[in-house]
Structure 1
């Protein structure tokens, strides 16, 4: 077997590879001391118990990659989200998780050697470290070697999201190694130069970003453990103080309170979907166009895992914050636009996998969504039917909203009716190429209908 099949391969300490029964990580001999210290010092156990890092099991080495020190089998996560698929609150949680892990590591003589947000993901909306090889030894007087990377790749996007717009996180799709500090400094508001936190970590730091030796005080001089802990506490304090983005511009706020057709409609819709989900009980449900997560939480009662996919960053924040309050939450919120999903990125366009390749489940729900895809984004119904069939292995619950519906009329008022083939008949014919119709439920005093499909 060749290293060309590795999924994570840039760290000389080891790599991740997909084998027949899952993903494994191989540990290089040069990382043996660090890996053993992580395991034997109690740090690994501490991080796993606090749900800051995924657990792993050591397994017997084989001859697939001879010469490696150890082979481990990490907890297998069905979905890995990337930074450009996180909302503001999720970015904030990642920064807090990163600093907390560093503080715990310092107590065990270690520190995170890098600061890439790609080392983290969200599982059941808990931010967890997924890179077991991120740790290095630390002794008093050592510099914080990941400081520059932390400012460019983790802190900068968060500050741009806070002061400018949460949509700035999408820049990560075009720059997966972070944003140059001079660029960030020039785009932050002038008033941030009077904020000590932004001044030190972005504006002053940016002056040295083109100097290969990086003369910034934090990296040039070593810090003892006490001062480094104080620095991490300062970061935590400032990140927590930025509770939400300064710009709030969501058209979906209070959707279910203000924009639903009627209370009777939403009650009937809830009852039908509850009945169907209770009968099927899929392992993984994907709620497309999740809005504020009302039906994602409903699906969570009948599914092992739920992925709430929504294109509005503020709605994803609302879903995430709500999930954080639920014990044993099994919903993961994902910021994504189905009409413009995350592509394959990085080396060979395979370093970061496309969203549609990662997002799979036994059930897809698309409630009050198809008219937005077809009428607002001009996607033909056959395209949507094929997309849903590629995401699900078994079932789909799709709500059809006809052009005569008041919401559709609003969508069409400025563009005219150019959608000759957006009809219920076309909808059914398109989906029947991929699914078998199980049930259809119309609503009283509404033109909308719910369809339950089973994949062919």
Structure 2
């Protein structure tokens, strides 16, 4: 049994993991608010609307050794994959923001509210966001201020504005500043015209001014308490919802966004890759598969069609991720596309380096595919071939890696603007590196091309 390191901040309860099961312990500090929400039917209705993660109450004696002893114990279904806001594409962050606002509005209609507005309270089931912190639901008191306004701005609104208005993906900034983007940091980047929106004035300009005045005055109260009626709070949330719903991702072309239609092989050669992936997935039946370099999700779809339980797709190109997110949202497939810089994956960080887990710590993949990917590590990013193989094979016990040699047009494209300092980048060295780490199950050369598909198993 261990506490989830990301749930330590709330004295009302903690998330506990035991034998692979996920529990939420409710302590005395959270008893009254939890029981009020439970008695009012708010939790059940929220679960029925699929806004809130499902739960089942169980006997607190199941965690009898826990200190302090919980007054309530809830069990939740285990999520396929835990992701963080700095790994989401624009559409994922936007959908999470809209779910948060819709959920808050529905709670207000029932006489409840949310005690905070952190984006880390949302996770994804496929491409559908779901709220996971049941203890954030508290009774609403007429006239109370919206205390989490700044938190919502920093973790949802400001990153979305930076992305939509300036074409700057906030992910590296967000990852380096886990609480999000302060409005006073965003404000100087906006043009005069962009500041004229009522939403920007209220939530970016206004909060920036309040923060600066609080710093100058050195007041213990960073912001003045503003009393709000419920109707006024609802109007603020509806205004935010309308504004965010109208934001769109930037339309600029991305480097590899058209890779699946602009590459070095035709439909017949792509069919060979699809068949190779389909065979592995049908034989292995992975509960979870990682698609590294997923692009817009063609081979992800093949994995789903042939029996993968769920797929987490990773790509560095936001244009490709947007298309993947739209594609699997439309089909409601169990696929979550995420942003990944493979040479700098999400680390363990936050309080004591444990609050947010690294990619490796969160990985439970049964299989992986890395198609048209390894040359980006070895050639574009100077990662030694054996180290690239080592990392890929470490992601899952079984998988497929595609190796394009230096004669491949896409590899030649990478080498066209730089000196070839990669004498060790050969098919022979690649196969040898895989064999040093796993058993080669089968391989297939794509006829008429310069690519090798290799399936490994290290179990």
Given candidates 289, 295, 311, the residue that maps to 2:299 is 295
**2:118 aligned partner:** 116
Residue 51 of structure 1 aligns to a residue in which SS? coil
Note if 1:103 corresponds to 2:102.
no
**1:171 aligned partner:** 173
**1:318 aligned partner:** 323
Residues of 2 paired with 1:250 and 1:51: CA distance?
34
Residues of 2 paired with 1:188 and 1:136: CA distance?
36
Residue 256 of structure 1 aligns to a residue in which SS? coil
Note if 1:369 corresponds to 2:366.
no
What is the correspondence of 1:67-106 to structure 2 with a 5 Å cutoff? 67-106=69-108
Given candidates 207, 221, 224, the residue that maps to 1:213 is 221
Indicate if the aligned counterparts of 2:2 and 2:16 stay in contact, CA closer than 8 A: no
Residues of 1 paired with 2:6 and 2:194: CA distance?
39
Q: After TM superposition, give the deviation of residue 325 of structure 1 in Å.
A: 0.7
Deviation by residue 1:352-409 (Cα, 9 ceiling, x = unmatched): 001122123111100010111111111112112221232113x111111001111111
**1:433 aligned partner:** 436
Given candidates 401, 406, 415, the residue that maps to 2:404 is 401
Residue 75 of structure 2 aligns to a residue in which SS? strand
Residues of 2 paired with 1:189 and 1:354: CA distance?
36
Q: After TM superposition, give the deviation of residue 36 of structure 1 in Å.
A: 1.3
Given candidates 228, 239, 248, the residue that maps to 2:233 is 228
Residues of 2 paired with 1:436 and 1:367: CA distance?
19
Residues of 1 paired with 2:439 and 2:50: CA distance?
41
Given candidates 186, 189, 192, the residue that maps to 2:191 is 189
**Cα RMSD (Å):** 1.8
Indicate if the aligned counterparts of 2:315 and 2:339 stay in contact, CA closer than 8 A: yes
Residue 10 of structure 2 aligns to a residue in which SS? coil
Residues of 2 paired with 1:417 and 1:293: CA distance?
31
Q: After TM superposition, give the deviation of residue 346 of structure 1 in Å.
A: 0.7
Larger mean Cα displacement after TM superposition, 287-296 or 141-150: 141-150
Question: CA 1:51/1:411 → structure 2, altered by over 3 Å: closer, same or farther?
Answer: same
Residues of 2 paired with 1:30 and 1:182: CA distance?
34
**1:237 aligned partner:** 242
Structure 1 residue runs without a partner (length 5+):
none
**1:418 aligned partner:** 421
Residues of 1 paired with 2:114 and 2:302: CA distance?
38
Indicate if the aligned counterparts of 1:260 and 1:266 stay in contact, CA closer than 8 A: no
Note if 1:351 corresponds to 2:359.
no
Indicate if the aligned counterparts of 2:5 and 2:354 stay in contact, CA closer than 8 A: no
**2:336 aligned partner:** 332
**2:217 aligned partner:** none
Q: After TM superposition, give the deviation of residue 223 of structure 1 in Å.
A: 2.1
Residues of 2 paired with 1:71 and 1:390: CA distance?
36
Indicate if the aligned counterparts of 2:292 and 2:315 stay in contact, CA closer than 8 A: yes
